[in-house]
Structure 1
Amino acid sequence: VVEYAGRIDHQVKIRGFRIELGEIEARLQAHPTVREVIVLALDGQLAAYLVPTEPDQDQQTLRETLKTELRANLPEYMVPTHFIVLDKMPLTANGKLDRKALPAPDASQLQATYIAPQGELEQQLAAIWADVLKIEQVGRADNFFELGGHSLLATQVISRIRQQLDVELSLRDLFEARDLAAFAHAAGEGQGNDVPRFIKADRTRPLGLSYAQQRQWFLWQLDPESTAYTIPAALRLSGSLDIAALEQSFSALIARHETLRTTFRQDGESAVQVVHPARALTLTVETVHAGQALEACLQQEMQRPFDLEQGPLLRVRLLNLATDEHVLILTQHHIVSDGWSMPIMVDELVRLYEAFSQGRELMLTPLAMQYADYALWQKTLMEAGEQDRQLEYWKQQLGAHQPILELPADHPRPVVQSHAGARLAVELEPALIDDLKQVARQQGVTLFMLLLASFQSLLHRHSGQSDIRVGVPIANRTRVETEGLIGFFVNTQVLRAEFDLHTTFNELLQQVKHTALQAQAHQELPFEQLVEALQPQRSLSHSPLFQVMFNHQSQASTDIRELPGLQVEALVSDRYPAQFDLTLNTAEHDGGLSAGLTYATALFDSGTIERMAGHWLALLRALCANAAQRIAEVPMLDAAERQQIVRDWNATAAEFPSEHCLHSLIEGQVLATPDAPALIFAG
């Protein structure tokens, strides 16, 4: 099935993939063997019509050369099935391309891009891939990552296989499978799933905290006034707002998710969750003026601490700017939410509002479990031996010594870590993004792995340290039942990279790939337990085990869900608390890539971070040009920096009297400072 999603000659949708035909044409046109080319979608397949630069070229060799070129630069679904070689393009009397005169593809040229799955297991796996990737069909010769997969979606594939087929597979099985058929072979040899099943926690007994919640509770008790773990969001709503429908929507959302009506209290030696009965939410509309008054309200809300014992841990404020203009402020504490939870909340809120504003009831798919059930399951899993197994891996991976990353800073590290921060947006040009994706495909890694390796290289070059540890948040929703819940699931892993003077980027990429896959296979060990087991030297001046973080979003959405009768605009805050010394945030969206550096202003000045961002971009460009070079030799300075560091700062030449010989100058110095050391040898 081909769905035309735009102009017929520019954009089509095949097998669920939106394809820009012009992008394929541009790649082919850039090849020296091609003089003219046009790509069309015919009967659900892509066909490339081309005129070669040399008429006597062997057509089969030409086809294979062009296919190889496209596969190195584009996903498999963008490689045409047919390559039709023409002497010249057929034209109409007006000099335009005569599409009707183009020959039909020759069946003998067909390279089948779709081969139906064979057998029950392949069909089941194909259905799982299609569901996760949101495409219509998957063939047995298809590769998961060439179809648009990434690490986060790979985790969802593994969790669905575990649930539906009761088979335990690793992410490495999926990464190493060249196609669906090979993955099915691995699945056929997979072991049975012996992980404990989810059970409903007894609501008449105290409800324990998850391990991640325990750390948040501990941090809150240390500093109840801190807003470092506040998750804010603000939306401008322009148009006719149905406040009653909005209240109904929030009430339904809070009733659906227990975390949104949970508080915490100390019960003897441990803390417990207290789930309160669902109640209708009443919104108080506050009238404010746009401008400074609005900004003051936003800052006030974001800097207002939460009381985890009293709640609520979801705050909703509605500001009225004019008759048809409002601002909705949502603020949550991290102990009941995370980055994955926010899109769930927005999506369900929009669907509920759409229904209630039109006088309809909406029956959302019932949740199979609640967060308190997950906390019980997590404790059961860890105590059944999984904690020991995963902890043993991390002890071997990180070793006994836990170094502190010492980046050159502008200010001494405070005795107590300050969370005051700022953010620098880093712009990556489209050509660089394309090059990065091409390198990732050639190296058999994800974009996440490549960017992590580049960041670790930057830290290595700036610090001079050979052992680089970076904190990486991981969704940690390894079970299908957790995917639709609002709650604090995210875990933090410490990913280590080791360098020497000879390490090339190619070698580092494979090291990072291995480390990342192994880490994902051991992602359920809570960070708090890892810290407790490794017992690093603790200090209030920095975080334990790592001091910098890399946060990558593989499927970030820049779209704002529309509400009936309303235009919705996200308001961006200029408040960026720094939980670590430095954090690199990257996000893939709409085929592009955005990046930003959040840094502790107690350590770094803005100019230092700007230079570091420039070094990172220079590093990326150099590595795309030659990934085989040694990281220690990659140039990072621009011309101005090189002039300043190499020449200006080293301009230490001084004039000496030309009428005196060297021995006379030495004699003069002896007379001036007779007791000073004249020569030091061997230290």
Structure 2
Amino acid sequence: MVQQLEIQDIYPLSFMQEGMLFHSLLDQESRAYFEQASFTINGSLDTERFQKSLDALIERYDIFRTAFIHKNVAKPRQVVLKRRPIRLQFVDISHLDEAAKEAFVDQFKQDDKKKGFDLQTDPLMRVSILKRAHEQYNCIWSHHHILMDGWCFGIVMKEFLAIYKALGKGRLPYLEPVQPFSKYIKWLMRQDRKEAETFWKTRLSSVKQMTSLPKKSTSSKGTLQQMAFTVSKEQTDGLRKLATNAGATLNTVFQALWGIVLQKINRCDDAVFGSVISGRPSDLDDVEKMVGLFINTIPVRVKSGSYSFSGLVSCLQEETLKAEAYNYYPLYDIQAQSTLKQELFDHIVVFENIPTQREIESLNQADAFDFTVEDFQMEEVTNYGCSIKIIPGSSLYIRINFDIGQYDPAMMKKIELYLRHIIGSVIADPNRQIAQISLLGEETAKEMLYKFNQTESAAPLAPTLNGLFTRRVALSPHLPA
């Protein structure tokens, strides 16, 4: 147990932190919410200065000195310690050949994940440097998601690099005063949970079915596969223009697209899926500068009705703005307001707009450092069998992670085809009615149905597309078009 003299502050957990703690205790072998960033450093690196920069960062932010106490207490608390050093781990692998280096790095990352974190006793961040060659290093920077979200990691990296740069001149940099995470917790405790409960109960009334992607099984294999594709720059520009004309964000446009995909697959006009939001309240001063866990997962409901696509986007944007005041409400309480409870949705959509990559690009363009940072990757695991991540840029990059025990890779490939076709359709005609939007173009549908029918033995091909479709539905009524 933490010694009393080491304690600086004690306060409650945020709702999302409570949820992560619950899942961590429920399945201690799970690596959900384990965050692992990795990148390559090319150039001269001073490991002693790296350690001092890390020390300064930990001293600056309370959250990095926090333990999550859950044993022998009436209710879990986060306890900020006065000191909680984290030692940089350094491993020299420069003597290995290239194949052995790659194998060592991959195994090191896997072993790091297997260690996990004990939320009550462990420092919840680990940083390792693997020296590959003269002036070439791999950095593995891991932390538990309960500490901070992706937006925070961008803040942390920027300040860490500023500290490292200044220490090279024998001083610490000037940084703006820290806004403690406890300030957000106090704001959270003041919110009217009864009002939020009423809002979500009304928002989710009459939801009758889960709108899931087709599954081959409900059993998880615990192994994720990734499928990724890029939307062309021309189409990305088209979606941005559509968003501007509808008075909406690009995120809202994608939510409308995804809602339509789910509706068409499930043969309905009302779809619900999970969305990960930043969770930073606009009425809390300097919240964008705070480091901690602010994100939340909330349901997004897309009802097409008689809307055109542009009309649906405008409506969805209005609904998003109404929900902002209640986005702090915990997901488990939101689910309790629906008739489906935990069956409200089974996958999440994340529109990732975090500054880490931008900070790294700025670093590489500056002359102030003796190194560049390349190949930045952030690996994270959730407790959902499927997650869809949209990464904005000049072209949209879409990444789908899915459990291979539950989802068929061939089906996920169809999802890409569906999205591409619908994107082309709504850019060509934003005023097209949702009911008139199909999952596939006529030629693609005809080709796919022809291939399906080649596996059938005796029956001749139907002479028309409508006949092909009718016959295929009769044979496999649950297969999406």
TM-score strictly above 0.5: yes
Q: 2:188 aligns with which of 374, 378, 382?
A: 378
How many Å apart are 1:285 and its aligned residue?
A: 1.3
Counterpart of 2:298?
A: 493
Instruction: Provide the C-alpha distance between the structure 1 equivalents of 2:14 and 2:269, rounded to a whole number of angstroms.
Output: 35
Q: Could you give the per-residue CA deviations for residues 279-303 of structure 1, whole angstroms, max 9, x where no partner exists? A: 5543231122422111211222234
Q: Which amino acid in structure 2 is aligned with residue 435 of structure 1?
A: G
Q: 2:396 aligns with which of 593, 605, 617?
A: 593
Match of 1:331, SS state, is: strand
Counterpart of 1:336?
A: 147
Question: Cα 1:474–1:236, aligned 2, differ >3 Å: closer, same or farther?
Answer: same
Q: Could you give the per-residue CA deviations for residues 261-296 of structure 1, whole angstroms, max 9, x where no partner exists? A: 111122432111122222554323112242211121
Counterpart of 1:309?
A: 120
Instruction: Provide the C-alpha distance between the structure 2 equivalents of 1:214 and 1:311, rounded to a whole number of angstroms.
Output: 18
Counterpart of 1:394?
A: 200
How many Å apart are 1:569 and its aligned residue?
A: 1.1
What pairs with 1:586-665 in structure 2 (closer than 5 Å)? 586-589=390-393, 591-637=394-440, 639-645=443-449, 648-649=452-453, 654=459
Q: 1:249 aligns with which of 50, 53, 59?
A: 53
Name the structure, 1 or 2, with higher relative contact order (CA <8 Å, separation 6+): 2
Matched, 1:551 2:363: no
Counterpart of 2:33?
A: 229
Q: 1:513 aligns with which of 302, 317, 329?
A: 317
Question: Cα 1:519–1:507, aligned 2, differ >3 Å: closer, same or farther?
Answer: same
Match of 2:345, SS state, is: coil
Question: Cα 1:485–1:570, aligned 2, differ >3 Å: closer, same or farther?
Answer: farther
Q: Which amino acid in structure 2 is aligned with residue 490 of structure 1?
A: I
When Rg is computed on C-alpha atoms for both structures, the one with the higher figure is: 1
Q: 2:209 aligns with which of 403, 407, 427?
A: 403
Matched, 1:318 2:129: yes
What pairs with 1:385-464 in structure 2 (closer than 5 Å)? 386-399=192-205, 401=207, 403-409=209-215, 411-414=216-219, 419-464=222-267
Counterpart of 2:308?
A: 504
Counterpart of 2:74?
A: 269
Q: Could you give the per-residue CA deviations for residues 69-114 of structure 1, whole angstroms, max 9, x where no partner exists? A: xxxxxxxxxxxxxxxxxxxxxxxxxxxxxxxxxxxxxxxxxxxxxx
Q: Could you give the per-residue CA deviations for residues 20-78 of structure 1, whole angstroms, max 9, x where no partner exists? A: xxxxxxxxxxxxxxxxxxxxxxxxxxxxxxxxxxxxxxxxxxxxxxxxxxxxxxxxxxx
Question: Cα 1:255–1:402, aligned 2, differ >3 Å: closer, same or farther?
Answer: farther
Match of 2:265, SS state, is: helix
Q: Which amino acid in structure 1 is aligned with residue 287 of structure 2?
A: T
Instruction: Provide the C-alpha distance between the structure 2 equivalents of 1:576 and 1:205, rounded to a whole number of angstroms.
Output: 29
Matched, 1:524 2:328: yes
Q: Could you give the per-residue CA deviations for residues 138-191 of structure 1, whole angstroms, max 9, x where no partner exists? A: xxxxxxxxxxxxxxxxxxxxxxxxxxxxxxxxxxxxxxxxxxxxxxxxxxxxxx
5+ residue gaps, structure 1, are 1-202, 539-543, 656-683
Question: Cα 1:636–1:404, aligned 2, differ >3 Å: closer, same or farther?
Answer: closer
Question: Cα 1:303–1:535, aligned 2, differ >3 Å: closer, same or farther?
Answer: farther
Counterpart of 2:474?
A: none
Question: Cα 1:229–1:281, aligned 2, differ >3 Å: closer, same or farther?
Answer: closer
Match of 2:272, SS state, is: strand
Overall identity of the aligned pairs, in %: 22
What pairs with 1:339-378 in structure 2 (closer than 5 Å)? 339-368=150-179, 370-378=180-188
How many Å apart are 1:635 and its aligned residue?
A: 3.6
Match of 1:494, SS state, is: strand
Q: Which amino acid in structure 1 is aligned with residue 186 of structure 2?
A: L
Instruction: Provide the C-alpha distance between the structure 1 equivalents of 2:157 and 2:171, rounded to a whole number of angstroms.
Output: 19
How many Å apart are 1:354 and its aligned residue?
A: 0.3
Instruction: Provide the C-alpha distance between the structure 1 equivalents of 2:25 and 2:320, rounded to a whole number of angstroms.
Output: 33
Instruction: Provide the C-alpha distance between the structure 1 equivalents of 2:138 and 2:292, rounded to a whole number of angstroms.
Output: 25
Instruction: Provide the C-alpha distance between the structure 1 equivalents of 2:404 and 2:459, rounded to a whole number of angstroms.
Output: 39
Question: Cα 1:337–1:469, aligned 2, differ >3 Å: closer, same or farther?
Answer: same
Given that 1:555 and 1:587 are in contact with CA atoms closer than 8 Å, whether structure 2 keeps it comes out as no
Q: Which amino acid in structure 2 is aligned with residue 393 of structure 1?
A: F
Instruction: Provide the C-alpha distance between the structure 1 equivalents of 2:9 and 2:62, rounded to a whole number of angstroms.
Output: 16
Match of 1:495, SS state, is: strand
Q: Which amino acid in structure 1 is aligned with residue 268 of structure 2?
A: Q
Question: Cα 1:627–1:601, aligned 2, differ >3 Å: closer, same or farther?
Answer: same
Report the TM-score when normalising by structure 2. Answer: 0.84
Match of 2:37, SS state, is: strand
Match of 2:186, SS state, is: helix
Question: Cα 1:377–1:429, aligned 2, differ >3 Å: closer, same or farther?
Answer: closer
Match of 2:427, SS state, is: helix
Match of 2:128, SS state, is: strand
Q: 1:297 aligns with which of 97, 102, 108?
A: 108
Instruction: Provide the C-alpha distance between the structure 2 equivalents of 1:464 and 1:361, rounded to a whole number of angstroms.
Output: 60
Q: Which amino acid in structure 2 is aligned with residue 360 of structure 1?
A: R
Question: Cα 1:214–1:298, aligned 2, differ >3 Å: closer, same or farther?
Answer: same
Counterpart of 1:580?
A: 384
Q: Which amino acid in structure 1 is aligned with residue 351 of structure 2?
A: H
Question: Cα 1:271–1:535, aligned 2, differ >3 Å: closer, same or farther?
Answer: farther
Q: Could you give the per-residue CA deviations for residues 449-482 of structure 1, whole angstroms, max 9, x where no partner exists? A: 1111011111111122332112111111122333
How many Å apart are 1:408 and its aligned residue?
A: 2.0
Q: 1:477 aligns with which of 280, 292, 297?
A: 280
Report the TM-score when normalising by structure 1. Answer: 0.60
Given that 2:84 and 2:123 are in contact with CA atoms closer than 8 Å, whether structure 1 keeps it comes out as no
Match of 1:486, SS state, is: coil
How many Å apart are 1:523 and its aligned residue?
A: 1.7
Match of 1:483, SS state, is: helix
Match of 1:592, SS state, is: coil
The range that moved more, 342-351 or 421-430, is 421-430
Q: Which amino acid in structure 2 is aligned with residue 295 of structure 1?
A: D
How many Å apart are 1:652 and its aligned residue?
A: 7.0
Matched, 1:564 2:369: yes
Question: Cα 1:205–1:637, aligned 2, differ >3 Å: closer, same or farther?
Answer: closer
How many Å apart are 1:576 and its aligned residue?
A: 6.3
Match of 1:235, SS state, is: strand
Given that 1:319 and 1:326 are in contact with CA atoms closer than 8 Å, whether structure 2 keeps it comes out as yes
Instruction: Provide the C-alpha distance between the structure 2 equivalents of 1:316 and 1:205, rounded to a whole number of angstroms.
Output: 25
Given that 1:461 and 1:632 are in contact with CA atoms closer than 8 Å, whether structure 2 keeps it comes out as no
How many Å apart are 1:206 and its aligned residue?
A: 4.2
The range that moved more, 206-215 or 222-231, is 206-215
Question: Cα 1:433–1:581, aligned 2, differ >3 Å: closer, same or farther?
Answer: same
Question: Cα 1:582–1:464, aligned 2, differ >3 Å: closer, same or farther?
Answer: farther
Instruction: Provide the C-alpha distance between the structure 2 equivalents of 1:652 and 1:632, rounded to a whole number of angstroms.
Output: 34
How many Å apart are 1:628 and its aligned residue?
A: 2.0
